[in-house]
Amino acid sequence: MPKVAPDLSFERAAAKTGARFIVGLDEVGRGPWAGPVVACAARLIGPAPAGLNDSKKLTAKRREAMVPLLLACCEVGFGEASAEEIDALNIRQATHLAMRRAVADLPQLPDYLLIDGNDCPAWVDCPRDVIVKGDSRSLSIAAASVLAKTRRDKGMVALAQQFPGYGWDRNAGYGTKAHQEGLKNHGVTPYHRRSFAPIHKILCQTG
């Protein structure tokens, strides 16, 4: 099958309904054992950079190079939900909270949302498309995907300086071997998601 690249098909369809402020919405960080979940809302106001795609399909170097280009052609908003909020709410509801904060952070609220995935947050009260693999189908969502990923990765690098030994600058908080070794040697930090099974098990064993 030919490779699918994101385009403006969804944005054009939304515009035909009369929408003017069409925003792509994506998140990153549902699976890691530590750190926040981060969302980005992005509205293209100029031509998208060449090569823009789902953040997972780009190298870290390419994503970083894309950031200033995206900030020059997008209006953006960011939102986060902390590990503490993830534990209090559950990861699904915390993800929806981060998304809501990202939309609220925009210069102007959207009148149409293009949401990555298959789970529409209950707070969404404007027309929307919920798009499976939207980050590889919509340029607005792809922009949000790259910006959310680079922002979260940068945050995890900063946390790695405060809590060395877990490899967060390399694994972004996912449960890699280095992270598991760090938990054995240094224990659970305030940035770990205590409701996640691997962390909860450690706490039960040490409690």
- Listed in sequence order, the residues at least 6 apart from 160 whose beta carbon sits closer than 8 Å to its beta carbon are 166, 167, 168, 169
Stretch 64-73: mean pLDDT, rounded? 98
Q: How far is CA 18 from CA 4, 14, 165, 175, in A?
A: 27, 7, 52, 45
Question: Residue 3's pLDDT is what?
Answer: 56
Give the C-alpha separation, 64 to 194, whole Å: 31
- Does the structure show a pLDDT above 60 at 34? yes
Q: Give the E-state strand segments of 51-106 in sequence order.
A: 74-81
Rounded to 5 degrees, what are φ and ψ at 130? Answer: -105, 115
Dihedral in degrees, nearest 10, Cα atoms 193, 199, 203, 204:
120
- Does the structure show a pLDDT above 50 at 61? yes
Q: Is 181 helix (H, G, I), strand (E, B) or coil?
A: helix
Tens-digit pLDDT profile for residues 123-177: 999 999 999 999 999 999 999 999 999 999 999 999 999 999 999 999 999 999 9
Give the C-alpha separation, 174 to 153, whole Å: 11
Q: What is the CATH number of domain 9-155?
A: 3.30.420.10
Asked if 121 and 134 touch (Cβ cutoff 8 Å), the reply is no
Which residue, 86, 49, 62, 51, is CA-closest to 153?
A: 62
Q: Answer yes or no: is 27 a known binding residue.
A: yes
Question: What integer best gives the mean pLDDT of the chain?
Answer: 96
Q: Answer yes or no: is 116 a known binding residue.
A: yes
Q: How confident is the model at residue 94 (pLDDT cuts 50, 70, 90)?
A: very high
Question: Residue 4's pLDDT is what?
Answer: 75
Q: How far is CA 46 from the centre of its chain?
A: 22
Identity at 98, one-letter amino acid code: A
Q: Answer yes or no: is 7 a known binding residue.
A: no
- Does the structure show a pLDDT above 60 at 1? no
Tens-digit pLDDT profile for residues 70-84: 999 999 999 999 999
Domain assignments of the chain as residue spans, ordered by start? 9-155
Tens-digit pLDDT profile for residues 18-33: 999 999 999 999 999 9
Q: How confident is the model at residue 37 (pLDDT cuts 50, 70, 90)?
A: very high
